[in-house]
Structures are given as structure tokens and as C-alpha cells.
Chain A
């Protein structure tokens, strides 16, 4: 145990003496947190639409006005010409072309179910689905409004009144959703990079040779590396939570101690992987490249930008060994929903298993003798 104390002390001295690490651990994450939470938005705020009104009736104008009145829609042109409308799509200026056919109103009043046509620019799939969803909602409400003209009796019979409320994020504040996720991601990423570069750096400098001729135990060496970076990671998480609270006023519904308690296991898992990478790398460049390989997969498959539930089944299983997916899930559940320990037990179980596996491998793969 005494040996371990000296190892940890030495690592801390080196961390605090390194002019690059401290700003990297404080300023960089804060900037990223502020920037990404504000900018990396999946919300579809502006949909450019071209309306081709071939009917030119009272009803079609009403529909047109309803679209114009919606803040998310921006009618960039109104035309009678299909060719002109599709040119807007071609030029990427329009997201949706809505065509109102001849005799729209007439057919409607006859009860013949007229057809509206929507042409959607689906290069950005999300924009397309969300945009057409908005437009569908507008058309549905338009439909509902002009229906009573026909018969009050019908209305009572057919219409279901849907009222919805957004739980856990009532105002649908995107930052409340993104900030905890980005924070969790940053904490995990920085610690994986720092740990992946650490052991290999000692190898490059040659200092590891002096360590390897001492009777130090392999687990002592790994734990001696783990503990200081764990502290750095927890510090980072604290700073990040404070910044998120101050800057975005993120909700903290659950027990904050639960987040910190979980983060300890998560960071141990992530650091174990970093040290494992470091053991196999010959140079710091190699370590960084391998770390990036994992980082790319972890980030794109962690549920931060795309929900895990909408991934194919096999990909959903692949998120189980992804520590990032678990920390993002935990931070969102606890912060926004106020989940307790029992609600996040699976995240705990998976993460502890990962921590054990990664660290055992790290200890095993650290070679004092080649």
C-alpha cells in the first residue's frame, strides 16, 4: 500500500506540473460544453416550403395562411408551375413542395377525399421527416377546422381529442437534453485520451524501464495510474455540472450523489480501456489513433445524437460494452427524470462488469518482462 501512495503522489505532481493537461482538463471542456450544447441541435427550426396552389380557392388560401402563420415554416415561393417548384428543390432552396390540385375545394365539399401532394427534399432525412410531420399536423388541423362545415354530428362521432404533455422536459428545451449528455461524453473522452497516452509516454521517455526493474507489482502500477486520473475526471465532472447549471440551468431532479457514485465506476472502466490501449501502443501517436477508433464508435453509438432505440437490434447490443452509452443514459435519467438507484441498476451492472474486464486486461497486458 505504501508503494501505491508514492506512485499516486508522483502522478499527481506530474499532472499538476504539466502545462498542457490542466487547461485541457478545465478550459477546453467548458468551451466545448457551451459551444456544443448551444450549437449541436437536432431541432428543425426552419422549413422552407414552396406552395403550388392550382386550386386558388377559399380553402386552399386558408391552408396557405395556416402554413404561413406557423413560425417553423417559411414560404419561399408560391407558384402555379410544377417545374418551377421542383427547381427550388433541385437548388436545395426548398425543403418541401406542397401541391394543391385543381378542384381541391370542390372535391372536398363533395366528400371525394382530394389528394394533396408533398414533395420532400430528403437529403437530410431528419429534416425531411420532422418537416413533413409538422406539415401533416397543420393539414390535420386544417382538416379539423373545415370539417364542422359539413355536419356537427359527424364531428362528434369521429374526432378523438388528443392532448399531450411533455414529461421530464416540459418545455422541450433542447439544451436540457444535450448538456448532460455532452458533459458525460466529454468527461469520458478526456480521461480515455489522457490515460491512453500516459503509459506509452513513459515508454517513449524510457522511464518505464526504471520502474520495471523495481519489485513493483503490476496491479500497483495500474492502480497508481488509475487513481489520479479518476480524481481528474471527477473534478472535470464537477466543473462541468456547475457550468451546465449556471449556463443552461439544467434540471437536477435526482440525487446528485448517485451521478458521482456511478461516474466513479464509469471512469474506472474508461480509464482501464485507456491503459489497456497504452500497454499495447509503441508510441503516443499509435495510442491516440487507437483511442480515436474507440472514441468514434463510442460517440456515434452512445445515444447522444441518435437514440439507441432506433438503431438496428445488433447495434443496440453493441452499445452494451460502450461505457459512454451508460453514462449518458444515467446522467439523463437522474438529472432530468429523477431516477433512483433501482432505475439505473443495469447501467451499474454493465459498467462494473466493463470496469472489471478492462482493468483486468490492463493489468494482464502490462509486461514488466518481455
Chain B
């Protein structure tokens, strides 16, 4: 089942001067999986995710995403992945439609395809009424969902999400996870970082990072059994201590 592994990482390390942000982590992610990448604030999740999506070069170790090497084939990886960053990073001064068109264009979609994608995103997210409004004026929950939809505009194999539910209300968080499930059902791989432990329960498998190291890596049920905990919250607290 080797071809089933879509992300493979060995001893991945990132150092900034003397500080080791990510310390020799190793893991695999299977195709179609929802992989939860957990950890406290500052544990090194964002640094790790940036190495996987080709924004940051690893200091040591190796890895491959969608069959491409993260050190040497970053640009190939970028064609096959979507990324939704922790900080909202669509253009606030462009309208909803202009943002979709721009990112579709940058990913090289045809004009016809951009039109189709625009319509389907507007319908799915119920944004038709604000299609011609600038993104700056949208409520933050809507912005997050639009950012997610745009990260998927080119229909990538894998989508990386860095704290997608940070700062949104419980209702939007629920909607978000419904969307994530729908995407996973289509055979996409979802790689999601979060520090909400309840969200960890929704993942197929999770890894927990503490101070740059990866302390646990299994299904949520197995982790709870191993550490004799009732919830992921407890698992996390036991590991972090």
C-alpha cells in the first residue's frame, strides 16, 4: 500500500539560529485522510506546515508531498496542494468574485473553468448576494469559508489548513468541519492544524507536537486508550506536562 502514502516525512528539522522550532519529526499521511496536526501555541506547527508546502526550506531531514521532494521540488508540490493560512490572506480590496478569478488565474485555470468554479463557490457558500462586494466588509466566518474555498479553487489533491477555525464562532466551526468532511469524501487529503482538542476527535489520525517534537501520533481512540484518558483534552494535558 505504498502509493497510498501521500505525505511522508522523516526527521524533518528546522532551526532558526540556536532555536530548534521543529525537532526531527517523522510521520506519514494517507491519501483521503483527515490528518490533525495538534499542538499548543508555539509548538512548531506552522513552521512544520510551511516546510511541507514549500514556503520554508528544512534544515535537516527529508520529506515528500504528493510524490515530490519538499527540498528540491517545492514548485511541483505547489501545483498539487491548496493552503489556507492562519492569517486571512485574500485581498481585502478585491471583491469576492475578483479574488476567486485572480487565484483561479494564477493557478492557470481556463476562463471557462474559472467561471464554473466562481459559480459553484458562490452557490455553495451562499455568497451570491455579496459577490460584488469587497472582501473587507464580510463577517470573519464568511471570510474564512471563502478562504477555504479559494484554497481549493484548482482542485488540489491535498489541502493544508493552518488553524482554520481560529477566532470563529461555534456555528461556523461546525460548518467548517462539515465542509472538511465533504472534501475528504471526494478523496482529498486534509491536513489540518488546530489547538482545539475537541476538533481532534473529528480527525482520522492525529499527531501532537510539544516544543518542536512530535510526542504522539495515532488515531484519537488509540491515543486515549494508550494514555488512559477520557478525552483528547486529557491526552494533550498529559503529554504537555
Contact = CB atoms under 8 A, between A and B. Distances in A.
The judgment on whether A and B are partners is yes
Size category of the B interface is: 20 to 34
A-B residue pairs, 3 tightest by C-beta:
A6-B105, A210-B89, A213-B83
A18 B92 CA distance: 11
A7 interface: yes
A369 B75 CA distance: 10
A5 interface: yes
Contact of B105 (A5, A205, A207): A5
A82 B182 CA distance: 99
Size category of the A interface is: 20 to 34
Contacts, number: 78
Given A5-B105, A10-B98, A370-B56, A209 B85 contact: yes
Nearest to A17: B93
Given A3-B106, A6-B102, A18-B93, A209 B55 contact: yes
Interface string B58-97: 0000000000000000111011010101011111111000
B103 A214 contact: yes
Contacts of B91: 10, 14, 207
Contacts of B98: 10, 13
A5 B90 CA distance: 18
Contact of A3 (B89, B101, B105): B105
Main secondary structure of the interface of A (DSSP, over half): helix
Interface in A188-239: 205-207, 209-216
Nearest to B101: A6
A13 B107 CA distance: 19
A214 B85 contact: no
Given A5-B105, A214-B103, A368 B85 contact: no
Contacts of B30: none
A10 B85 contact: no
Contacts of B53: 213
Contacts of B102: 6-7, 9-10
A370 B47 CA distance: 11
Given A213-B55, A213-B78, A216-B106, 5 more contacts: A6-B102, A9-B102, A209-B55, A213-B54, A214-B103
A175 B12 CA distance: 66
Contact of A2 (B56, B103, B108): B108
Contact of A6 (B87, B88, B106): B106
B88 A206 contact: yes
B78 A214 contact: yes
B49 to A, nearest CB: 10
